[in-house]
Structure 1
């Protein structure tokens, strides 16, 4: 690949100073330049095919107007409301969102360094709470950054939902229905760990023995496979609390494929709500979390970080998680199943 021309080479060819070329390219309103000189500079730019370095220009102006929004599963429908709210908050603050793949950024240090050190965005929102490997985030400390869904991390500003309360609510709902054998289908990372803690809290408060975590992952396919294996091996639970609605899509399918009707022989409740949950057959009961509020607050906190950096954790517990009762949860087998709430 041919080496890109430098601004100094443009200036030399046009017979002017580099500063004049820079001011011309940046449309400096105070610049006074003769038409023939301007034509000479533009001809040199065309001849050398010079392209201004966007990163360098951003460094000089200290603004790109962009906020990086890095998600681990960009296409996951759970995040639709969060992204919409984040975009609205960014627009209100005079920014645009640039969607990024958090997994690729963390696993490709060179790409991450170019993004951060090149100042191609004014700030970064990075999703945590999954594998929670923070070694790839060291470069992010050099620019305004907010981690969302992660635990508190020294050197960073973090914001997350009250995952523990959501899982406690989901589990308590099943306890109130009369279930005593309730299992938790979780995944890797601190988001799942916090939800498992909520499950444990509700089980302990009810005087029930918790089951070991069933590791189903964050995607539907592995969650279905794990559910089918669990039931085929004689799993005794009559109800399942699932770490997310995307995972619950697989759990729901796995239970039905195993020959156990929902909710007659197995109740299923998940954390989060999304558009497809009510359209499953039967509809999925969820502990809905304020994902839209998370998107809005994360952007607002990042804009504050750009103006005045600080550390510390923000936990969004207002509004609190809300149980949306649908047909996937009912009394255990042998008792009358109440109608689903709408």
Structure 2
């Protein structure tokens, strides 16, 4: 029997994110997509004979065989491996994964309420760590739910990565290279706050003065504009730790647009790794966390919630965060080599 193609395989063949494929398949009215990209995805679907399906258990019980996976930046390439691993874990358990837009659910609790009351999914994975999430969480908890990337919350099961540890490791990498003037480029939300605390910890341990976080946001365009404005033609620091790789893409471009040399005037390290990081010029140094494993573990926890509701926090710290040293980080240009 031929194995059915997965959504992640369609995305890979079409050269797009799994989130974009999911939104196209589900006729998301807010999706803006070029005709060329649409045709490429449709060709990949046809070539792989991909068919979204609910589990056969829906024919035998009141369960749908569907798990909802709600992300705030559903098309962000940083989530590709996490979505793929989550989909694989769901498929192995006889479920299908449905990608949802967490921003829309947070802005419209009635839509989430209909999702819960209509039993359209058997459980929900929802991204926490954003201020707008709180309006929908109580509704979400009327069905089996796991929050990921969130702080502990009474009544919920939560799972997240060691954000503070990753940022501390990234900061220590710069310190070990000889940098003393290091800043943190963050965004809104508790995951950024945890990473900033890790930066602060490393700076204090080294006896160095810290800086208030630079709010660069989660999007590359925003981070680029903020970086250009902040640095102008001169860098006040020699090292930057950036909250995510997508943000770092913008910071990288912003530094160059400001007339600064990445890896020479300013060294750059981001949290997370993704496919484009080694292809930047210079290539991006990262603190690589097990983001892909987070998708698998979150699904496994959700399946437990469906069987037996509970609460508590899991911090996924294995495999350990590691520095992938590329050309964007080097010794400060004015460092005495003696």
C-alpha distance in 1 between matches for 2:146 and 2:58 = 20
Instruction: Indicate the residue corresponding to 1:196 in structure 2.
Output: 196
Contact 1:132–1:190 (8 Å) recurs in 2: no
Alignment partner, residue 76 of structure 1: 76
Contact 2:290 2:321 in 1 (8 A): yes
Aligned residue for 2:164?
A: 164
8 Å CA contact 2:159–2:314 kept in 1: the answer is yes
> CA offset at residue 335 of structure 1?
3.5
- The answer to whether the 8 A contact 1:64-1:120 is kept is yes
Write the mapping of 1:49-64 to structure 2, written as runs, cut at 5 A: 61-64=61-64
Once superposed, what is the RMSD of the aligned Cα atoms?
1.8
Mapping of residues 23-62 of structure 1, within 5 Å: 61-62=61-62
Identify the residue that residue 207 of structure 2 maps to in structure 1. Answer: 207
Question: 2:185 is paired with a residue of what secondary structure?
Answer: strand
Is 2:296 aligned against 1:296? yes
Q: Secondary structure at the match of 1:134?
A: helix
Matches for 1:286-325 after TM superposition, within 5 Å: 286-325=286-325
Q: CA deviation at 1:99?
A: 0.4
Describe the SS at the equivalent of 1:269.
strand
CA contact 1:239–1:268 (8 Å) conserved in 2 = yes
8 A contact 2:265–2:332 mirrored in 1 = yes
Match of 1:120 in 2: 120
1:151 and 2:145 aligned = no
Query: Contact between 1:132 and 1:150, CA under 8 Å: does it hold in 2?
Result: no
Deviation at 1:234, TM superposition (A): 5.5
Equivalent in the alignment of 2:174: 174
Distance in 2 between the 1:268 and 1:131 partners?
Answer: 28
Partner of 1:249: 249
State the distance in 2 between where 1:206 and 1:59 align: 61
> 1:224 corresponds to which residue?
224
Post-superposition offset of 1:180 = 0.5
Runs of 4+ in 1 over 6 A off after TM superposition: 57-60
Say if 1:214 and 1:59 are closer, same or farther in 2 by CA, change over 3 A. farther
Shift of 1:308: 0.6
**SS where residue 142 of structure 1 aligns?**
coil
How far 1:232 moved relative to its partner? 1.9
Q: In 1, distance between residues paired with 2:275 and 2:132?
A: 28
Per-residue deviation, residues 52-92 of structure 1 (Å, max 9, x unmatched): xx9xx979933100000000011100000000000000011
Tell me the residue number matched to 1:87: 87
Residue 129 of structure 1 deviates from its aligned partner by: 1.5
Contact 2:107-2:132 within 8 A present in 1 as well = no
TM-score w.r.t. the length of structure 2 is 0.81
Q: Tell me the equivalent position of 2:65.
A: 65
The aligned residue for residue 131 of structure 2 is: 131
Q: CA deviation at 1:132?
A: 5.3
How many angstroms apart in 2 are the aligned matches of 1:307 and 1:201?
A: 40
- Three-state SS of the structure 1 residue aligned to 2:67 is strand
2:183 corresponds to 1:186:
no
Q: Is the 8 A contact 1:78 1:274 kept in 2?
A: yes
Number of residue equivalences: 282
Structure 2 residue runs of 5 or longer lacking an equivalent are 1-53
**1:265 maps to which residue?**
265
Which of the pair has more CA radius of gyration?
1
